Homo-oligomer: A and B are copies of this chain.
Amino acid sequence: MEPFEVHILGCGSALPTTRHNASSQVIRIGNKQFMIDCGEGTQLQLRRGHIHFSFINHIFISHLHGDHCFGLIGLISTFSLLGRTAPLHIYADPMLERIMEPQLKYFCKEIKYPIFFHSIDAGKHAVIFEDNTITVESLPLAHRIPCCGFLFKEKPKKRHLLGDVANIYNIPAYMRQSIKEGADFTTPEGDLIPNSRLTREADPSRSYAYCSDTLPCPGNNSYIKGVDLLYHEATFAESEKERAAITHHSTARQAATIAKEAEAKKLVIGHYSSRYDDEQILLEEARAIFPDSYCATEGAIFRI
């Protein structure tokens, strides 16, 4: 199967620490790369992770707090210095374009590639990106300002043509696509070979959901039901539950409860408050509810 990977570039929260960078991830699906959030220092994290700058064409910004978007202007400038010509698509609250406009005008005069801002309505569950193999949906979250999560889903895949059977029947190349899509085959002699004898089941369509920053939002469970991997913020431990509620963040236990209720296959927690010197307590609290929980950390790659 083609790779479907989540590269963690930063999983800290608002206050910088020497242990965690501001939020950013790269989702690699096949030969495509998508970025989610772009806190300050993201471009350095890309360097450290040996991730190709030029393969990033789509950046999704969950919300307009600095730790999720202050790295954008530097990344855009660096793309330009590296000679980029391919368009860059940024999906965000429409305010982002207005805020960035004077910066782009001044700092990016010599830029040779177009930037397209796509407006997200953070309050809505909607398909915000689609290509031939994947869709990205917005997931309404509950934060202090408009904020949405993202659900990456592979589209249903084609069935696998059985190579030896295809040879026996001498199936011509031009027919192979339709057979992969479910068609039967009729031999030159007029025999109908049912698709089930020609193909085996398609690979499963995998999915990944990113939910940060937010209070727990069980309203999204139906959208993310059975998701292969859920990244959910867990800014606080249970002892800071009230603080989580006030600041519109989640505890590790709440993140795990969402994972359990949504029947996620795996949970990765992140967006740790700077108060934690290590995240063991968060991991333990998550695992008590949802055993298949893991801690995000800079440089980690989660494979789906």
A170 contacts B by Cβ under 8 Å:
no
Q: Which residues from B are CB-within-8-Å of A101? A: 102
Chain A interface, number of residues (Cβ within 8 angstroms):
32
User: Of B15, B16, B71, B106, which one neighbours A99 at CB under 8 angstroms?
Assistant: B106
Q: Which residues from B are CB-within-8-Å of A82? A: 15
Most buried by B among A15, A70, A102: A70
Among residues of B, the one whose C-beta sits closest to the C-beta of A17 is B47
> Within the assembled complex, what's the spacing in Å between the Cα atoms of A95 and B105?
12
Q: B102 contacts A16, CB within 8 Å? A: no
Q: A73 contacts B66, CB within 8 Å? A: yes
Q: B40 contacts A18, CB within 8 Å? A: no
In the complex, besides A16-B44, A66-B107, A99-B106, 13 extra interface pairs with C-beta distance below 8 angstroms are A14-B77, A14-B78, A14-B81, A15-B78, A17-B47, A18-B47, A21-B44, A40-B43, A64-B106, A64-B107, A70-B73, A99-B107, A101-B102
Query: What mask results when residues 67 to 95 of chain A are scored 1 for a CB within 8 Å of chain B, else 0?
Result: 00011011001100110000000000001
Q: A78 contacts B47, CB within 8 Å? A: no
Among residues of B, the one whose C-beta sits closest to the C-beta of A95 is B106
Q: Which residues from B are CB-within-8-Å of A99? A: 102-103, 106-107
Among residues of B, the one whose C-beta sits closest to the C-beta of A72 is B70
List 12 contacting pairs A-B, 8 Å CB cutoff, sorted by A.
A15-B78, A16-B74, A16-B78, A17-B47, A18-B48, A65-B107, A66-B73, A70-B73, A95-B106, A98-B102, A99-B107, A102-B102
